[in-house]
Chains A and B, each alone.
Chain A
Amino acid sequence: MPVLEIQNLHVAYSSREGTELQALAGAGFALQQGEILGVLGESGSGKSTLAAALVKLLPPSGRITKGAVLFEGQDLLQANSEELRRVRGARIATIFQEPSLALHPTMRVGKQVHQVLAAHSAAGNGALRELTQETFSMLFSGDADRVAKSYPHQLSGGQRQRVLIAQAIVCHPSVIIADEPTASLDPTTQMEILGVFRTLQRKLALAMIFITHNPALLAGFADRVLVLYGGRVVECGPAEAVLASPQHPYTRALFKSIPANLEQGTNARKMKLPAIPGDASSLPQEGCSFEPRCTERMDTCRERRPALVNFAAAHTVSCFRCEK
Chain B
Amino acid sequence: MRYLLRRLGHAFLLLIGVSILAFFFATLAPGNYFDEMRLNPQIAPEAVAALRAQYQLDRPLPMRYVAWLNSTIHGEMGFSFAYNSAVAPLLISRARNTLLLTITATLLAWGIALPLGVWSAERLGRLPDRLLSWGTAALLVIPDLTLVLGLLVFAVKTGWFPPGGMVSVDFENLSSIQKVRDLMRHMTLPVVALVLSVLPLLVRHVRAAVADVLGAPFLLAAQGHGIRRRTLLYRYALPAAANPLISLFGFSIGTLLSGSLLIEVVMSWPGLGPLLLESILSRDVYVVIGGVLLSTLFLVGGNFLADMLLYWIDPRIRTESSAP
Direct contact between A and B in the complex (CB less than 8 angstroms)?
A: yes
Interface residues of chain A, those whose CB is within 8 Å of chain B, are 55, 57, 85-90, 93-94, 96-98, 101-107, 115-116, 119-120, 151, 153-157, 159, 164, 167
Q: Which residues of B contact A106 (CB under 8 A)?
A: 239-240, 242, 313-316
Binding stretch for chain A, among B31-39, B50-58, B222-230:
B222-230
Known: A85-B226, A153-B319. 4 other contacts (CB 8 A): A55-B224, A106-B242, A154-B323, A159-B323
Question: Would you call A88 and B316 a contact (CB within 8 A)?
Answer: no
Question: A55 to B316, alpha carbons, bound, how many Å?
Answer: 32
CB of A224, distance to nearest CB on chain B (Å): 24
B226, A86: Cβ atoms under 8 Å?
yes
Q: Which of B226, B316, B322 contacts A87 (CB 8 A)?
A: B226
Among the listed A88, A97, A154, A159, which residue makes an inter-chain contact with B225, where contact means beta carbons less than 8 Å apart? A88
Q: Which of B221, B235, B239: most chain A CB closer than 10 A?
A: B221
The answer to whether B316 touches A151 (Cβ under 8 A) is yes
Please measure, in the bound complex, the distance between the C-alpha atom of A120 and the C-alpha atom of B240, giving whole angstroms: 23
B216 close to chain A: CB less than 8 A? yes
Q: Can you pick out 24 interface pairs between chain A and chain B where the beta carbons lie within 8 Å of each other?
A: A55-B224, A85-B228, A88-B224, A89-B225, A93-B224, A93-B225, A94-B224, A96-B217, A96-B220, A96-B224, A101-B216, A103-B218, A104-B222, A104-B236, A104-B240, A106-B240, A106-B314, A106-B315, A115-B231, A116-B226, A120-B226, A155-B323, A156-B322, A157-B323
CB of A119 within 8 A of CB of B221, answer: no
Q: Which of B215-269 contact A (CB under 8 A)?
A: 216-218, 220-228, 231, 235-236, 239-240, 242
Closest 9 CB pairs of A and B: A89-B225, A89-B226, A156-B323, A88-B226, A101-B217, A94-B224, A102-B221, A153-B321, A151-B315
- Bound CA span A114–B48, Å: 77
Decide if the interface of chain B is mainly helix, strand, loop or mixed.
Answer: helix
B residues with a Cβ closer than 8 A to A are 216-218, 220-228, 231, 235-236, 239-240, 242, 313-316, 319-324
Main secondary structure of the interface of A (DSSP, over half): mixed
B48 shortest CB reach to chain A, Å: 64
Query: Which of the residues B217, B222, B228, B316 comes within 8 Å of A153, measured between beta carbons?
Result: B316
Q: Can you name the residue of chain B whose Cβ is closest to the Cβ of A87?
A: B226
Residues of A within 8 A of B321 (CB): 153-154
Q: Which residue of A lies closest to B236 (CB)?
A: A104
CB contacts (< 8 Å) of B217 on chain A: these are 96-98, 101-102
| Alpha-carbon distance between A155 and B217 when the two chains are bound, in angstroms | 18
